[in-house]
């Protein structure tokens, strides 16, 4: 790869993040570091596993921003919707939320359609008549695996993550001084 290509790729990545932040936030992403919402240890732990990253509020936020910059945020949005769905206890709420998730993520040409095989989609369609807290579990696991094996490694090796690590270390040194 030529140096020019690498420069342009990095520039494109930065532009996508900036464009996303302009549309969705009034604060730049690295400004999150200054409000003390996570430390260098937190950011380092995000590299240990996708579970660690998603269990940290700011880690999940940064990962969402990364996925949006790569135009694949539907995966984390679906995973999050499934996490919320599993906490519902009312049958009426389960039915309503199941239909909502199906309409948004599962059905053919859904606004945020995720990549699922026919059998998994079919099982979800069958469960819509009488959904349970586990109706989307197989699909959620498939999407989690997709993120874990594809998006998450790209995030950990991204300039965004490297910049967050550097900013967290610098902020930690500044606070100790």
- pLDDT value at residue 157: 95
**Segments of the chain with pLDDT less than 70:** 1-37, 171-177
Name all contacts of 70-76 with Cβ < 8 Å and 24+ positions apart: 70/16, 70/151, 70/154, 72/151, 73/112, 74/105, 74/112, 74/113, 74/114, 75/114, 75/143, 75/146, 75/147, 75/151, 76/147
Tell me the per-residue pLDDT of 124-147, one tens digit each, with 9 for 90 and over: 999 999 999 999 999 999 999 999
Which domains does the chain show, CATH number per domain? 3-71+151-176 (1.10.196.10), 74-148 (1.10.167.10)
């Amino acid at each position: 790869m030529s140096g020019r290509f690498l420069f342009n790729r990095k520039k494109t990545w930065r532009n996508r993040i900036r464009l996303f932040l302009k549309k969705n936030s009034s604060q730049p992403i690295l400004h999150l570091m200054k409000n003390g919402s996570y430390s260098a240890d937190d950011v380092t732990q995000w590299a240990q596993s996708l579970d660690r990253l998603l269990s940290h509020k700011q880690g999940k936020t940064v990962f969402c921003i990364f996925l949006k910059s790569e135009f694949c945020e539907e995966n984390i949005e679906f995973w999050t919707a499934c996490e919320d769905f599993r906490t519902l206890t009312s049958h009426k709420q389960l039915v309503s939320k199941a239909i909502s998730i199906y309409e948004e993520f599962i059905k053919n040409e859904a606004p945020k359609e995720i990549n699922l095989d026919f059998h998994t989609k079919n099982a979800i369609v069958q469960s819509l008549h009488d959904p349970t807290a586990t109706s989307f579990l197989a699909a959620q696991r498939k999407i989690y695996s997709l993120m874990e094996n594809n998006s998450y490694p790209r995030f950990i090796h991204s300039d965004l993550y490297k910049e967050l690590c550097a900013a967290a270390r610098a902020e930690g040194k500044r606070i100790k001084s």
